[in-house]
Structure 1
Amino acid sequence: MDTWKPVARIADISPDTGTLRVMHEGDAVCLYKLPDEICATQDRCPHGNASLADGYLEDGTIECPLHQGVFDIRTGKPQCPPVTTDLRRYEVRVEADTVYLKAQTP
């Protein structure tokens, strides 16, 4: 049986940045609001340990604020140097205005 946990409301996600840092089962997770979906990955960049919630979200990618590495937030895959490690992704479900998360295999 799948376990889903509420972590935020859609309205909590910044309208300016499109991101929100939340805690889920002891892990920092970044939520991303796209026009047609909500995505979630680990919040910390695996290269520079910066918070991706402070990064620049554009066209389904997040740019790390520290070294400008870019990740695809739907797949977690790095898009350009200096980042080379995939982000851990989280399965997202939205009901009404509540965002729920379930951990996925990295």
Structure 2
Amino acid sequence: MTFSRVCDLSEVPAGEALKVAGGGKEVAIFNVNGELFATQDRCTHGDWSLSEGGYLDGGVVECSLHMGKFCVRTGKVKTPPPCESLEIYPVRIDGRDVFVDFDAGYLAP
């Protein structure tokens, strides 16, 4: 696994999201009650940014384009119209530094 530093922990407050990029990919980092999760940033239905145009409610992000919802822990669709899950990425925290492995994205089983 190759982790890349993407931000400081303070850049992703609880209940918020931050778009980061690396390895030619844009990834959304979500802070759910102090726990960080990373998914692809673009909605699988409408090609819309989830970090900039989404609403995080607990562990679920809602795309503001067509109101589809995804679990940020698993990437799985919670509410249509999306029918494809989001890719999820490993996240590691070391002190205040947040790291993402852009090469290890996968769809949860």
TM-score by length of 2: 0.89
- Distance in 2 between residues matched to 1:85 and 1:95, nearest whole Å: 32
SS at match of 1:22: strand
Tell me the equivalent position of 2:28.
30
Q: CA deviation at 1:36?
A: 3.5
Tell me the equivalent position of 1:47.
45
Amino acid at match of 1:77: K
SS at match of 1:99: strand
- Distance in 2 between residues matched to 1:77 and 1:55, nearest whole Å: 16
- Specify every segment of 5 or more residues in structure 1 that has no aligned partner in the other structure, as ranges: none
How many residue pairs align between the two structures? 104
- Specify every segment of 5 or more residues in structure 2 that has no aligned partner in the other structure, as ranges: none
Tell me the equivalent position of 1:58.
57
Identity %, equivalent residues:
38
Q: Structure 1 residues 16 and 37 mapped into 2: Cα distance closer, same or farther (>3 Å)?
A: closer
Amino acid at match of 2:27: V
Q: CA deviation at 1:104?
A: 2.7
Q: CA deviation at 1:3?
A: 1.3
Runs of 4+ that moved beyond 2 A: 103-106
Q: CA deviation at 1:105?
A: 2.3
- Distance in 2 between residues matched to 1:31 and 1:62, nearest whole Å: 11
1:10 is the counterpart of 2:9: yes
Contact 1:31 1:41 in 2 (8 A): yes
1:70 is the counterpart of 2:60: no
Q: CA deviation at 1:81?
A: 1.1
- Distance in 2 between residues matched to 1:16 and 1:100, nearest whole Å: 17
1:84 is the counterpart of 2:83: yes
Q: CA deviation at 1:21?
A: 0.5
- Distance in 2 between residues matched to 1:85 and 1:44, nearest whole Å: 12
